[in-house]
Every structure is written in structure tokens, then in C-alpha cells.
């Protein structure tokens, strides 16, 4: 009797396990998630532009499960002295949050901080003279802060 009961319960249990395994595999992020994340977090302007385009169309990337949340420049002003740093801070947050979720933050932090600095310098390149110098100085300060405390 016990053997018949065990056999009778084994088939539904196996079927349930198969369904759960299939659902988990279907819900998993695509295999190239790390590669896509790396492409969007490099120091180049093209990397920034790819990330910005993806951010504008987040639903197209929903299967990847990226964390797009941001607090922008945290407790620092998002637009210090009128310099628009908020998008640079948002990309920096994106890199930090997603690499932390993948468990590879330590190996990528320095590059993320350098990409942040390059993004800030691209903002500052829009200016000239004393305004550019002030922007560059502010960018350097923001970079040093995330490098030390980020």
C-alpha cells in the first residue's frame, strides 16, 4: 500500500517540479545580461548614448530585469551651480545597483566611477572659460566623492 501511494504521488510531484523548473528558466534574465550591462557602463560617449536610449525605452529591456531606479546624485545637488549632472548620476546609480545585484560590484566599481567622471566631463565640455573650469572642478569633486564613499 505504501509503495502504491508513493508511486501515485511521485508522478504529480515530478510534473510540478518540471513546471517550476520551466517557469524559473523562462523568468531568468537572458544569458547576455552581463555583456549588455558592460556595454552600457563603459567610459565612452557611445556607451552613455546606448544606455540613455535604453533608459528611454526600458520596456524593451524588461526581460533583463535591470534596476533603473535612481536617487540621482544622492545627497549632493543634481545640478550644482546649474551644471546638469543628473543624467550622469542616474547612469552611475544604474551601474552600481545592477552590478551589486549581479554580485560583481567590486570588480567593476573603479570603471563605473571612471565612467561617471567621463560623463561629467562631457557635460562640462559644453562650457568655456571660467564656467568650464568651475564645472570641471565640480565634476572632479563629485568623482572623488564617489571614488572614496560610493
Angle of helix 105-124 versus helix 129-149 axis, rounded to 10: 170
Catalytic residue among 92, 116, 117, 120: 92
In residues, how long is the chain? 150
Q: 116 with 88: CB under 8 angstroms? A: yes
Q: Is residue 92 among the annotated active site residues?
A: yes
C-alpha cell at 137: 572642478
- Rg of the chain's alpha carbons, rounded to an integer? 22
Instruction: Compute the C-alpha angle 143/147/150, nearest 5°.
Output: 105
- Are residues 41 and 108 in contact, defined by beta-carbon separation less than 8 angstroms? yes
Residue carrying C-alpha cell 533608459: 55
State the catalytic residues: 92
Amino acid at each position: 500500500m505504501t509503495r502504491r501511494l508513493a508511486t501515485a504521488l511521485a508522478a504529480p510531484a515530478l510534473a510540478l517540479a518540471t513546471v517550476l523548473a520551466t517557469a524559473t528558466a523562462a523568468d531568468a534574465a537572458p544569458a547576455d545580461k552581463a555583456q549588455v550591462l558592460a556595454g552600457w557602463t563603459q567610459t565612452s560617449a557611445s556607451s552613455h548614448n546606448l544606455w540613455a536610449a535604453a533608459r528611454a525605452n526600458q520596456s524593451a529591456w524588461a526581460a533583463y530585469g535591470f534596476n533603473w531606479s535612481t536617487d540621482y546624485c544622492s545627497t549632493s545637488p543634481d545640478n550644482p551651480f546649474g551644471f546638469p549632472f543628473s543624467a550622469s548620476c542616474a547612469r552611475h546609480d544604474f551601474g552600481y545597483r545592477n552590478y551589486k545585484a549581479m554580485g560583481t560590484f567590486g570588480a567593476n566599481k573603479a570603471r563605473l566611477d571612471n565612467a561617471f567622471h567621463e560623463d561629467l566631463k562631457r557635460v562640462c565640455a559644453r562650457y568655456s572659460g571660467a564656467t568650464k573650469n568651475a564645472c570641471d572642478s565640480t565634476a572632479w569633486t563629485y568623482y572623488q566623492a564617489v571614488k572614496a564613499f560610493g
